[in-house]
Amino acid sequence: MAAIELRRAAAVPVAPRLERRLGRLPLHLVIVVICALWLLPSVGLLVSSFRPPQLVATTGWWTAFHPPFEFTLQNYRQVLSTYNMGTSFVNSLLIAVPATVIPLLIAAYAAYAFAWMRFPGRQGLFLVVVGLLVVPLQTTFIPVLHLFVQLGLAGTFLGIWLAHTGYGLPLAIYLLRNFIGELPKDMFESALIDGAGHWTMFFRLVLPTSVAALASLAIFQFLWVWNDLLVALIYLGGQPSVAPVTVTISNLTNSLGQGWQLLTAAAFISMALPLAVFFGLQRYFASGLLAGSVKG
Domains of the chain plus CATH, in order, are: 16-65 (no CATH), 83-294 (1.10.3720.10)
**Residue 142: pLDDT above 80?**
yes
- pLDDT for 296: 42
User: Of all residues in the chain, what percent carry a pLDDT higher than 70?
Assistant: 86
- Whether the CB-CB separation of 227 and 274 falls below 8 Å is answered with yes
Q: Is there a contact between 111 and 177 (Cβ–Cβ < 8 Å)? A: yes
Work out the average pLDDT over 31-52.
Answer: 87
d(CA 206, CA 102) in angstroms, rounded, equals: 17
Q: Say which residue, 4 or 82, is predicted with more confidence.
A: 82
Distance separating alpha carbons of residues 241 and 102, to the nearest angstrom: 23
**Which tens digit of pLDDT belongs to each residue from 159-183?**
999 999 999 999 999 988 988 888 8
The CA-based angle 3-7-8, given to 5 degrees, is 120
Q: How many CB atoms lie within 10 A of CB 147?
A: 13
| Phi, psi of 289, deg, nearest 5 | -70, -45
pLDDT tops 60 at residue 263: yes
pLDDT tens per residue, range 109-138: 999 999 888 888 888 999 999 898 888 888
Average pLDDT in the 18-32 region?
A: 74
Backbone phi, then psi, for 201, in 5-degree steps?
Answer: -65, -35
CA 238 to chain centre: 23
- Residue 221 near residue 180, CB atoms below 8 Å: no
240/86 Cα distance (integer angstroms)? 11
Percentage of the chain modeled with pLDDT above 90: 25
Higher pLDDT, 81 or 232: 232
What does the CA dihedral 229, 282, 98, 204 come to, rounded to 10 degrees? 150
268 and 200 Cβ atoms separated by less than 8 Å = no
- Residue 223 CA to residue 96 CA, distance in Å, equals 8
Using only C-alpha atoms, the chain has a radius of gyration, in whole angstroms, of: 26
Query: Model confidence at 35, in pLDDT bands (50, 70, 90)?
Result: confident
Which CA distances in Å does 19 have to 10, 27, 28, 193? 16, 14, 14, 55
Mean pLDDT of the chain: 82
Tens digit of each residue's pLDDT (9 = 90 or more) over 196-220: 888 888 888 888 888 888 888 888 8
Question: Taking 80 as the threshold, does the pLDDT of residue 270 lie above it?
Answer: yes
